[in-house]
Every structure is written in structure tokens, then in C-alpha cells.
Structure 1
Amino acid sequence: MNPRTTSYEFLGPVGTLFITLAVPATTYALSFGCSEHSGGCPPLLATIWPSVKTSMQDPEWWKSLWDRDAALLYLAWYVYCVACWLLLPGDWVEGTTIRDGTKKKYKINAFSTFLFTMGITAGWIMRFGPQSFTFIYEKWVGLMTASLIMSVLQGLYCYALSYYGEKVLALGGNSGNPFYDFFIGRELNPSIGSFDIKSFNELRPGLILWALIDISMACEQSVRRGGSVTDSMWLVLAFQLLYVADGLYNEPAIFTTMDITTDGFGFMLAVGDLAWVPFVYSLQPRYLVFKQVELGPVYTALIVLVNFTGYYIFRDANGEKNDFRNGKNPKNLKFMETQRGTKLLTSGWWGLCRHPNYLGDLLMALAWSLPTGFETPVTYFYVSYFLVLLMHRQYRDDENCEKKYGEDWDKYKQLVPYRIFPRIY
């Protein structure tokens, strides 16, 4: 049931220990190295560290990392998300079959939580004005620290929990090395009763907080400009809120992803979901607070075109895959039979490359950065990081598929040779 992990990812225990320390450090560096208080964003990413290093020599800098009110605010936010999961209505759906032959059931109400939260937020701003919702911008660092602490605590809790009772462990997180298993995630589906910790964190606290951060940044810019908001801020706000809403609306789709079916829940997913997503993915609107870019109609239209091209590819490709998995083939797409009795698409978007949804994702990520202009690469950190992340995920997916399909996977790669970028990669 739970074989020992025999191969390492991320360069093993040393690599995962480095990432465990580097992720919080990078999150703080991007925050402190690119802000109006540090004199703006640097023209080169390499120049972030010297400014952060100088700040670290000041005792007040260390004190600024902790904010009790922000920590309580973050805790209240997390409790609110749990309460919404518990109280708001939602269907229960089955996930994929686990190695022990069972299927977990998941409550589907992430989109309802988002709509409920957006309704409260809109009502609050209409009643009390934009200045009343700038507190997230003002408590940015304290909230980020609280999310990192929550990530560590959840990673430790789930690691300890994995040793009690009969648990299904992640195939990649049962190495016996505590540093590695803490990072990767030892238990596949840590739960408290029917409350699945991994799928809950995947969509709710981080993604919806990302949307609230964006709205707070727009409110802060509005206050500074006497009530108006730049077209660049409107673009980023619209693009990112659409992305969040789309992910939450299509909540059942995550139950077939590698994060849910394969990876354990440890520090890697906890810090990614709770800290990295909301506080790194919102760098663009934060930058636009103190660097207020006006694009004009031509550049606005071009950026909109890039974003919706990416969104169309992302959504249509996922639609083809989901239809095919559910026994539908409205486009009469070609496919190949495997010895396992399953089928692999070889035409449509999935005939152009093995991961067309990643291509769409990357185009959208680029569109989120373009409204910030080209004075600093910091606002393009997300799309650069995302490219590396998706290439690594594609590599992991290929490895898993090779083990799963054997010789059939070699035949499939001949039919669909390109990985993410057709005719390029």
C-alpha cells in the first residue's frame, strides 16, 4: 500500500531544505525590494538583494515583519473560509480512485464562497468608500508573515498526522527523510473528518485572498488619485479576478490534477497555496499603486487580445479534455488506444502539443504583466517563474505517463512531439 520512496525530486533533502528557506526569503525580497519605500522597483532582479540586505541591518526592519493585528486578521480570514465551506450549500462529488480502492468525496462550494465574499466586499466599499478597504495594502507584510506561519504549522501538523492510523501515503513523500517528506507531503489526503485539507487550501484561502488583495490595491490607487483608477490597474484587476473566478467555478476539474491525485500535502503545497499565490501573484497591482501607468486605447486593446487568446486556449483545451474523459467527443477528435484500455487525444489542441492548457496559462500570465510597462523585470517575475514551474510539471507528468503507459507513451510522443509550445518545445 505504501512503498518507500526510492527517487528524489528537487535534488533531494538538500534541495527541498533550500527551497523551504528560499520561498519565504524570495517572497519578502520581492515585497521589500520592489516598493515605494525602497525607492521603487529595481531595473534588474539581481539588484533586489542589496536593498533588502541593507534593510535587514536595521532592527526596525525585523520588527516590521510581525503585526499582531494582521496575524489575527489572517486567522479570522482562514476561519471565515472554513465556515463558508461548512455552511454554504454545495454538492458532494467523488474524486478519482485512491490506491486503497476508495474514492474521497469533496464538497463543491468554492465559487459560492467567492461570490459571497465579493458581495460583502462590494457592499463594504459602496458603504464606507475605497479608503476603508486599503487595510490589506497597509498590512501587506504582516499578512504575508501570518500566511507563512500558517503554511509551516499546517506542514508540520500534516506530517505528524501521517504517522497516526492507517493512512494512504503519497508515493513521492515516503522517503523516511523528515526534511524531504515535510516539504513534499507524506500523507496523500490529510483530512479532519470530511474536511479535506489539501483540496480546501488549493482553491479557497489563497485564491480568494488574491482577489481581495487586488481590490485593495485598486482602492489604494483610487484614494491616491482622488477617486480614479488607471486603465492598467483596471486591466490587471479584470484579468486576475476572471482567472480566480474561472478556477473556482470549475472546482471539480482540480480533482484530476497531479496536486490532488499524486502529491502529498506538505509545506510545498501549503506555502504555495497560502502565501506564494496571493502575495507573489499580486505583484502587478501592487506595483501599479505607486507606478501609475496609463496605457491608452491601442495598448489596452492589444493586451486584452493577448489575455483572451490565452484564456480561449486554456478553456477550450480543458473543455476538450474534460469532454473526452467523460465519454464525449463533440469535435470528433482523433485518439489512440492504449494497452491499458484508455485513450489519448492526438488531435485538436491536444494534437498540437501535450499541454496546450499550459500555453494558454502562460499567455494570460504575460498579459497580467504587460500593463506594468517595461521599467522593471520584477512585475514579470510571475510569468518567468510560472514558465519554469509548468516546464517542471510537464516533465513530472511525462515521467508519470511513461510509467503508466509504457511503450504506448513512446508511440504517443511520436504523434504529439511538442510539449508546451507547438513547433518550438
Structure 2
Amino acid sequence: MTQPAPSRKPTLLSRGSWPEARRIGAILRKETVGGALLLAGAVVAMIWANSPWAETYESLRDLRVGPEALHLNLSLATWAGDGLLAIFFFVAGLELKREFVAGDLRDVRRAAVPIAAALGGVVVPALLYLLITRGVEGAGKGWAIPTATDIAFALAVLAVIGRFLPTALRTFLLTLAVVDDLVAIVIIALFYTDHLAPVPLLAALVPLGIFTVLVQRRVRSWWLLLPLAVTAWALVHASGVHATVAGVLLGFAVPVLRSDKAGGPEAGPGLAEHFEHRFRPLSAGVAVPVFAFFSAGVALGGLDGLVGAFRDPVVLGVAVGLVAGKPIGIMAATWLMSRFTHADLDEGLAWVDMLGLSILAGIGFTVSLLIGELAFGVGGDEHVKVAVLSGSVAAALLATVILRLRNRVYRRIHEIETADLDHDGVPDVYETDRPGVAGG
């Protein structure tokens, strides 16, 4: 009598598919360059803002350009935050939709873990911030600053220090960061909209609707799509809702799957993949570094000024939220998912891997700076920038220590998998149920 096959216990953060592994690897290679440019922009801004020529930096940041008649006579810093970051969030919208429509995360069970972790990584830092800043007048409006993860910075650090880490960890961080971005956009739209003009907001539905119809028909002509996208962005900006929301909505409108009329699976990449390939370099290589340049320039006032900044409860709240709140929230949510679904980590992973990754998610740079400006105004609270920069750097350094140690453990797995390439170019580990090496 044939014995039934034993049921396999569900796992958290399982390996995923080979196409997903290749795609994540390609994204990481691009984000490494983007992360380096982001850091370069921030460092140049910090040096310039603390040099004898600091006034020229402030003058450049505050220089206003654009048509006054269209309410677009904005400072360069505002153009960077409202305009260039719309490209960043457009790519984030493409990535999020792709993950849930065609990626490994279309499986609800697989998607639940990073979504829960992202929500935990939002709630706990916000609560810690509010706890530390309680009683401080006006501080409460900055509660969302430590809730965000900078996808470019975090992925760049991971690509540099963890090239042998399992793809499941990379996929998890990417998905968590993208969900974080989505939550940040919702927070910005709901809590950081001072005034709402319904007429421009409703008018924005017209170009957005035409854009959606065209991309659903697989139209790629930039001379048709770009004016519609810019018009939708301008109307959302005029409505009082932060203009980056338009970027996410435009990204969600783009279809992920190939059209049946295009010839099936061999017809080339879907439109979302096509746009992502075109715009990710612009986002990571231009939009985010320029925003970092205009946002990270803060006059520290020497060592005394830096030490004095940390006497501010807002600075402590942001820094603690990023360095401690993020990992606590992410780890707690992941453990709860494991506890109540009776699922274990994949055989090739250990909880210390999750700890390192959770700390890495405390890099809040880009979106945290954006929310800080929305909460306290451009240049309204320089201490917030000190907190975001110091907290992000501390999270990056702590994560580097842990993940570099784990990277050595997984080097042997990488050597085994690359040695097992067969004629189809796919590692055998993605074609069998052979477990990896657990926990080192």
C-alpha cells in the first residue's frame, strides 16, 4: 500500500523562484550605483552647508523657478521633493504592482509576512517617537518620520555587504521597503495635506484615466504618455495632496502582464517591466541623489551643535524609532506570523538573518527626510535632518556587522549552488526540494 506523502510544514521567507532570484539580483546591481550616488549627494550637501560658503548652498536650495500662473513657481528643494521624487514613487508603484500580480508574492501566504513586517515596522517606531516626545509642543506632527525605509540606501548597503545572502532575504527587504513606501504615501496623503482643493483633484482623474486607457492598450509612445503624466502630477500638486501620490497612481495604472495579442510569453517584457527598466536608472541615479543633495544639507554647528541636537526629544524620538523601533516592529510581526501560522523560517535561514535585515530597514533617509519637511517645513527643523542622518547611518553600521558575519556563512551555499548549474543555466537548488544549510 502506498504511503501518503508527508505534509510539508509551511515556511516563512522561502527561497522563491529562479526568475525572481535573477530579477532581484538585477535590481540590487542598479540600486548599488544609485545608493552610492545618494550618499555622494548627501555628503556634498553636508560639506557645503558646513563650509564658509554655506549661504550659497541655501541660496541655491531656495532659488525659485517655474511658471507662477500655474502655481508652479517653486524652490529647487521643493521641485526635488515634489517633482523628482514622483519618479521614485512611480517606480515604487510599478514594483509593488509587479510583486503582487506576477512576482512570487502573488501567493497570499508568501505576501502576508513582509506586509505584516512592514506594518510592524511602521507602528512601533511611531509609538516610540510619540512616547519620547510626549509633552513637547508641536513635536507630535513628526510621528511618521521614523516609519519609512529608504529602498535605494538599504538595497545598496545589502548589495555591497551581502552578495552571498539568500535571495529570500533580498526579496523580503525589497518587498518590505516597497510596502513601506506605499504606507508612507497613504500617511502623506491622509495626515500631511494641509488644505484640499477638490476641483484640481477631480480634474486630475481625466489625464490619469486617459493614461490608464493608453497603457492598458500597451501604448508606449512617450509623446502621448509624458504630457498626460505631467498634467496629472501638476493637478494633484495644485490640489494640496502631495504630488508624489500621482507617481504611485500612474505606476499602478501600468499593466504588468503581457497582452495576449502580443504573441504570448515570447513577445518580450510586459509594459510595467519595460517602464521599470527605463525609469529605475533615472530614479536611482538622478531623482533620489538630487533630492538628497537639497535635503541633507544641515549646518551642524560643530561638535557642540551635534551634541546639543541630541538633547532635543524630537531628535531622540526619530533616532530611536529608526534604530530600535524598526527592528523591534519587524521582528515582532514576523515572529507573531510564525507563532500563529505555525510556520518556520526556510531551512536555509536563521532568525539572526532577520535581525540583521530588520536593523537594515531602519535606514529611513529619503522618505524620512521628505516627511520631516512636510511636518516641519523645508529648513524648519534642522534637528530632524540630524536625527534622520545619524539614525540611518547607525542602522546601516549595526546591520553591516551582523550581515557581514552571516554573509560568510552563506558563501559556502553560494559555491554549492553555482557548482550545480546544469545545461539549462538554472541552479539545481531552484529545481529540487534539497534544503540549504541552516543557520550556519
Q: TM-score, normalised by structure 2?
A: 0.26
Query: Which structure's residues are more often helix, by fraction?
Result: 2
Q: TM-score, normalised by structure 1?
A: 0.26
